[in-house]
Structure 1
Amino acid sequence: MFYDYIVIGLYFILILAIGIIFSRMASKSTSDYFRGGGRMLWWMVGSSAFMAQFSAVTFTGAAGKAFTDGFAIVAVYIGNTFAFFCAWAFFAHRFRQMRVDTPTEAIKRRFGSQNELFFAWALIMFSFLNAGVWLNALGVFTSAVFDADISITIIAIGLTVLFVSVLSGAWGVVASDFVQTLVVAVVSVACAVVALVKVGGPVKMIENFPGGFLIGPNMNYPLILFGTFIFFLPKQIITMMNLHDSFRWLNAKDSFNARKAALLAMILMGVGSIIWFIPPWAAATLYPDAAADYLQLGNKAADAVYLVFARNAMPIGTVGLLMAGLFAATMSSMDSALNKNAGIFVRSIYQPFLAKRNRHKCDDKLLKISRLVSFVTGVGVITAALYFASLKELSLFELMMSVSTMVQVPMMVPLVVGVIVKKTPQWAPWATIVIGFFVSWFVMNVFTADVFASLFGIGLLTDREIIDLNIIMIVGGHVFITSSFFWATSIFYNEAKDKNKLETDRFFEDLESPFSADDQQDGVDSQQRNKLGNMVITMSVGILLMALIPNPLWGRFIFAMCALIIFGIGYLLKRSSKSKTYSR
């Protein structure tokens, strides 16, 4: 563990350094703090969009699901990949073309100021739940690694993430996301290669998986599994391609870079969907009793399977690198949430309602308030994570899916469909959410999976089938009922009473109008490449030093190769920063 502590310590120093280095770029204005002034290159935006959808749940709750159920977990991540494809085809460049600094400013343009205020408070409260799930997942895993109290672990990690987010805003968030993408890639690929070698190749891994690889155990009705995959596609579009999550693309320097960013995120998610889960799939054969080592985690014991694999199969120091990857995943998700909340509060709550007299005069004051809001939001996220840690009866995957399907989907339906359907009354968004919450409650408490099964003459369902069928029914309810309700409100639209009509018309015009960067962009491009190139090269040196850890030759070779690849990326960034012309 001595080397693991060193690796983690050096990683934190690197992330803190990124926050300090990019803090100057975030200190010019609130637009810089919230979205980097809309001047970021596609590879920064794409890696950040990818990391914002990637959290420690992937290495914990989702890995535990892969360990017990096999290939089924990939359905969620294929849904993510498909959503990023839709971003490339339709959403990403249009979101960049909204010409706003925060998601709720886009909501105001589309639905009016009353809906802006409603969604501002609702989305801030929801982020506490979502980021709390991410932080709890990291706390579970970290407490298992270091045999520490989970509450203390959550508080310590949360405060560290809070420091970076408050200090550097969107520039630090996105820059650290890019570096963290490389960390995640290094850990994932290295673990996947070793896992395949130890298990005897992909064919052996599939053949020897207990309970069947494609279907998994405790599944008497494979059609339920197929239904889960089908309904995950629209679910992920709803939860990722909406006006709230448009913040992923507001950072891009122009429309073209937004589309390229979406394409990069799609490729990373598509490849990662398989690579991430090879170690837990292999562990089901290599270490079938892995969960028994962490019974203190209750039903979350299987969520530590990645740790078991790293400790038993990987060279010394990998656990530290794995923990760095987990910190990277959760920090990227949590700091994005904190930065986004600061923008929502300042632009949609404080500025228009609490600072009417000075809202156009004191951007410096608003910048200070933004940092304060980030801090307060971080404390709220830590509190939510501590509450989730007390829910021992739920696995992390079930917890994540419960929050996502029951709360997030109904909230985001009007923010997706509203980009397509133009003529809706001002009450349509919040009325749709009320209907959506009723649908979630009705499926969970009245028309449950057991009731559905008995109605259609389906025999006794396993616990796994009940969970999956609940997901299908809730998502199906929102796709067919909640979405249809919002669409149907068009019947009640009265153009004469629409006070926001002119702004809504301009909003849809902007959606179709390409946005181009100004003539000052080249200097900002150079700074991005140069600063990140330096950080990436520094990280490659740190990983190269891991080759000195007393490991077998193959273990040293893995670290050396990873360092070489990362150094090459850093070198290319540094070299391109010195060029007088920059490719789009």
Structure 2
Amino acid sequence: MSWIDWSVLIAFLGYTVWDGTRQGKDASTIEGYLLANRSMPWWAAGLSVMATQASAITFIGTTGIAYVEDMRFVQTYLAIPFAMIFICMFLVPFFNKMQNFTAYEVLEERFGLKTRLTTAGLFLISRGLALGVVIAAPSYVLSLLLGLPLNVTIIIIGVIATAYTTVGGIAGVINTDVKQMAIMMFGLIFSFGLIWVNLPEEVNFNDALYLAGSLDKLTALDLNFDLSEKYNVWSGVIAAFFLMASYFGTDQTQVQRYLTTDSVKNARKSLLLTAYAKVPMQFFILLLGVMLYVFFIFNPAPASFRATEPVAETQEYQLAEERILKEYQLAHIAREGAALEAVQNRNPGTQQAFVNADKEMNEARQADLALQAEIQQADVNDTNYIFPYFILNHVPIGIIGLIVGGIFAAALSSIDSELNALTTVSIVDWYQRLKGDVHTEAHYVKSSRGVTFMWGAIATVSALLLGETKSIIELVNQIGSYFYGSILGVFVLLLWVKRATGTGALVGLISGMLSVFAFDRLFYNATTADYSFIFPWNEVPDGYAKAIEFLWLNPVGTAVVVLVGFLVSIAFKNR
């Protein structure tokens, strides 16, 4: 980056840190530090909900998915409007009536302390693990910018996020989220417009869509019902409903946002803002990834967007790499010519020629990635580097710093939100509850800041252990799917199963978690029609693939918790 971009980036990040920390001076009580005295406007809480979920993961992971695959990932979000209506109808009034600090306090009155602590503990584990991924996401960008090892950049972003979050409190988190959301949308819209205006004169927007459609990149809906398929309409509407209802309705990271509002009406408005805006925003971001693919049809693109050093260590590897890269360059040129021919003469013949040229180029690209993986003896992928590469090489000077600053600021908005939620659950559900409310407000505020620092350190270490992943955003949803369904099941027992007891809820919760981990290891062999549970300590035989993809783990967890919880409650009551 140029000195202008560095100046913009440093100024923007400096303002973000200042803006977040200056709110901390008003957080003299535990309610002020964790809930902003329940005084936040609904629109600010709503934008904070969106910013918390979006973050740098949205920039990097979602565009990368659309680039290397298609737009079917949008189906994951089809359930959000239904989930938000469900939460507004049943959970928001319940939480508002209780005037609680966390989503898990309400469990103790009905199900006892053990169930409350177990559920809160599952939240701490799931979000603690996911937070490592959220820290890793912007670290990819920083690594590309500075040329530093990924581990170093993880430490840098982890330390910055933890430092300013410890001081700011929830008011600082929400206030910065609003500004960060605006910068995030500017970056997305500007990048989309830049791609559009830099297409060749012979290629208009309709032509770009035609080329993308020819490669099935515009596929957004899959009506086939298949539990082993990650993304289809059924998993997006049914399975993802349980994920989204639990995430927005029982996850403290999100619940804490609308607990900061002053009424049921305003809490509902904050959630409905996400219900209306999230799916269109996600669709637009995926379309941006598709447009990136079309952009690089007509512009030079590396075989791998992820720089790897050293590329080749022996003469044999060097010769192999030179051969692959030559094939890639020739295939890239041929694809560009085939694309121009396809848009000028729209007929099945030119369209198929373009599809074949694209396939040949991608085969060369995959060969290069495979060679790098063989050299490094590790999985090598560049999904998370595609959009950062575009920013650094094609965005004008000055705007680069602002967009990259927006990515980092968006990342901070997720990191600080999750740190604040982890702190709230740690202090309210564990420390304060087990020790008794015997300390002063100043003590709890000081303890909250100390716990925030602790969670920041844990998350940073988690990010260091994580390493590379093919898709950041997929990994976040996968981690959540191990926990969210079971946690939602406990709240279903609380609200609608009157005969449920604390023992039933606790046994159901444990059973739900065990069933999720078991079904996650269920594999299927299409050739022999054989199902088999294969656990991590066993090698997966050839021909076997996951029988149930991760989104379906959410309804499995919920159903098992409710069924087992009900049966155990009945059995113990009859004794």
- TM-score (norm. length: structure 2): 0.76
Q: Select which of 519, 524, 549 maps to 1:443.
A: 519
Query: What corresponds to 1:239 in structure 2?
Result: 247
1:206-265 deviations in Å (ceiling 9; x for gaps): 321263024489x99786442432322332223322264422311111111111111222
Partner SS for 1:448:
strand
8 Å CA contact 2:520, 2:549 repeated in 1: yes
Pairs within 5 Å for 1:288-307: 289=301, 292-296=304-308, 298-307=379-388
How many angstroms apart in 2 are the aligned matches of 1:452 and 1:349?
Answer: 50
Does residue 367 in structure 1 map to residue 445 in structure 2? yes
Number of the residue aligned with 1:169:
169
Task: Tell me the CA shift for residue 39 of structure 1.
Answer: 1.3
SS of corresponding position for 1:241 = helix
- Which residue of structure 1 aligns with residue 294 of structure 2? 285
- Distance in 2 (CA, whole Å) between partners of 1:72 and 1:467 is 19
Structure 2: how far apart are the matches of 1:485 and 1:178? 42
For 1:454, the equivalent position in structure 2 comes to 529
Q: Does the 8 Å contact 2:508/2:561 carry over to 1?
A: yes
2:499 matched residue in structure 1 = 423
2:556 equivalent among 450, 473, 477? 477
Judge which range, 8-17 or 319-328, deviates more.
Answer: 319-328
Q: Judge conservation of contact 2:187–2:403 (CA < 8 Å) in 1.
A: yes
How many residues are matched? 481
How far off is 1:283 after superposition?
Answer: 1.2
CA contact (8 A) 2:95 2:103 kept: no
C-alpha spacing 1:196/1:85, structure 2 compared with 1 (3 Å): farther
Q: Contact between 2:493 and 2:500, CA under 8 Å: does it hold in 1?
A: no
Aligned partner letter, 2:382: A
Retained in 2: the 8 A contact 1:196–1:278? no
1:332 partner amino acid: S
What's the CA shift for 1:143?
Answer: 1.1
Deviates more, 1:241-250 or 1:278-287: 241-250
Task: Give a deviation string over 1:552-582, Cα, whole Å, max 9, x none.
Answer: xxxxxxxxxxxxxxxxxxxxxxxxxxxxxxx
Contact 2:507–2:568 at 8 Å: present in 1 too?
Answer: no
The match for 1:516 is none
**1:341 matches 2:353:** no
**Gap regions ≥5 residues in structure 1:** 457-462, 498-584
Deviations 1:446-494 (A, max 9, x none): x3244699259xxxxxx9x957952254345335444443455553474
The 1-side partners of 2:150 and 2:465 are apart by: 11
Is residue 147 from structure 1 mapped to residue 147 from structure 2 by the alignment?
yes
Separation in 1 of the partners of 2:85 and 2:66?
Answer: 24
Cα distance 1:161–1:466, how it changes in 2: closer, same or farther (>3 A)?
Answer: same
> Aligned to 2:497, what secondary structure does the other structure show?
coil
1:131-530 correspondence to structure 2 within 5 Å: 131-199=131-199, 203-209=206-212, 211-215=215-219, 224=229, 225-226=231-232, 227-230=234-237, 231-242=239-250, 244=252, 245-287=254-296, 289=301, 292-296=304-308, 298-354=379-435, 356=436, 359-389=437-467, 392=468, 394-445=470-521, 447-450=522-525, 454=529, 469-492=548-571, 494=573
Q: Distance in 2 between matches of 1:344 and 1:170?
A: 13
Q: Shift of the alpha carbon at 1:30?
A: 0.2
In structure 1, what is the Cα distance between the partners aligned to 2:225 and 2:434? 53
Structure 1 segment 3-18 matched on structure 2, within 5 A? 3-18=4-19
Q: What is the identity, as a one-letter code, of the residue corresponding to 2:138?
A: L
Alpha-carbon distance in 2 for matches of 1:252, 1:140? 35
Q: Deviations over 1:16-56 (max 9, x none)?
A: 221232112212x0011111111111011111111222232
One-letter amino acid of the counterpart of residue 10, structure 1: A
- The AA in structure 2 aligned to 1:228 is S
CA gap of 1:188–1:105, structure 2 versus 1, over 3 A, is: same
What residue number does 1:556 align with?
A: none
* Post-superposition offset of 1:344: 1.7
Identity %: 20
- Deviation track 1:239-296 (CA, whole Å, cap 9, x = no partner) reads 3222644223111111111111112222331331122223211111222556613153
2:366 corresponds to which residue? none
TM-score normalised according to structure 1 size: 0.75
Hey, what does 2:21 align to over in structure 1?
20
Distance 1:266 1:60 in 2: 22
Superposed displacement of residue 131, structure 1:
0.8
1:82 offset after TM fit, Å?
4.0
3-state SS of paired residue (2:499): coil
Is 2:104 the counterpart of 1:104? yes
Structure 1 SS opposite 2:98: coil
Is residue 184–residue 406 contact of structure 2 (8 Å, CA) maintained in 1?
yes
Cα 1:54/1:449, change in 2 over 3 Å: farther
- Residues in 2 aligned to 1:146 and 1:187: alpha-carbon distance in whole angstroms: 20
CA deviations over 1:178-233 (Å, ceiling 9, x no partner):
1111111211222223334445565433321263024489x997864424323223
Whole-Å separation in 2 of the counterparts to 1:63 and 1:137? 13
Whole-Å separation in 1 of the counterparts to 2:261 and 2:169: 15
Q: Identify the range of structure 1 (197-206 vs 250-259) with the bigger mean alpha-carbon deviation.
A: 197-206
Shift of the 331–107 alpha-carbon distance from structure 1 to 2, 3 Å rule, reads farther
1:549 alignment counterpart: none
> What are structure 2's unaligned runs of at least 5 residues?
309-372, 374-378, 532-541
SS at match of 1:53: helix
Q: For 2:497 and 2:415, locate their aligned partners in 1 and report how far apart those are by CA, in whole Å.
A: 32
Secondary structure of 1:100's counterpart equals: coil
Equivalent residue runs for 1:71-86 within 5 Å: 71-86=71-86
Q: Which amino acid aligns with 1:205?
A: A
* One-letter identity of the residue aligned with 1:292: S
CA-based RMSD: 3.1
Residue 155 to residue 472, structure 1, CA distance change in 2 (3 Å)? closer
- What is the CA-CA distance between 1:4 and the residue it aligns to? 2.3
- Paired letter, 2:260: N
Q: CA deviation at 1:72?
A: 0.7
CA contact (8 A) 1:34 1:102 kept: no
1:160: Cα distance to partner?
A: 0.9
Show structure 1 runs of 4+ deviating over 6 A. Answer: 219-222
What's the CA shift for 1:407? 3.5
- Counterpart AA for 1:270: V
